[in-house]
Structure 1
Amino acid sequence: MGKFIKAVGAAGVVAGSVYLSKSENRKKVKGQLNKVVNNLNKGYVKNLGKPTDIDDSEMVDEGALTSIKYYNNLQQKSENNQS
């Protein structure tokens, strides 16, 4: 069974190499990967409960003090509203 898995893996590597040998295919794959990464990043930021504005959320990730204060104020307001 181990030889079979190695053979299938090797075949996959060869097929991937052949597919990516064309410039247009590399561009397609790179574009799709960028879309996936961007979507994951946006979902990650939104699901953490950070400000709804993505630019503000990114600034919070980078450590900008203005956005951190804004984020903290939003958190305090939401806690006060829930109490």
Structure 2
Amino acid sequence: MGSISKVIGAAGAVAGTVYLSKTENRKKVKAQLNKAVKKLNTSYVKNLGKPSDIDDSEMINEGAMTSVHYYNELQQKSKMNS
């Protein structure tokens, strides 16, 4: 059973090498990896807070200044209503 696994592994390595020998295929693989990493990072940031804080974590994901502007707008509206 061990020798069959080695043969399959070697065949997979050869197939991968042949596939990645073309520049076009390397670019496709690299683009897919970058897309997967970006998606992973985005979902990681959203899951940092509590489930009830998803909106806050999305603001953090957009950038820190977004939350500052949002807070300032709320303060201005509060002053106008009082």
TM-score interval, normalised by the smaller of the two chains: 0.5 to 0.7
Runs of 5+ unmatched residues, structure 1 = 60-65, 71-83
TM-score by length of 1: 0.64
Aligned residues: 59
Distance 1:40 1:51 in 2: 15
Contact 2:48 2:57 in 1 (8 A): no
**Alignment TM-score, normalising by the size of structure 2:** 0.65
Q: What's 2:13 paired with?
A: 13
Name the residue aligned to 1:35.
35
Give unmatched runs, 5+ long, in structure 2.
Answer: 50-55, 69-82
Q: CA deviation at 1:55?
A: 3.7
Structure with max Cα Rg: 2
Q: Give 1:52 deviation, angstroms.
A: 1.5
Correspondences of 1:1-83 after superposition (within 5 Å) = 1-49=1-49, 51-53=57-59, 54-56=61-63
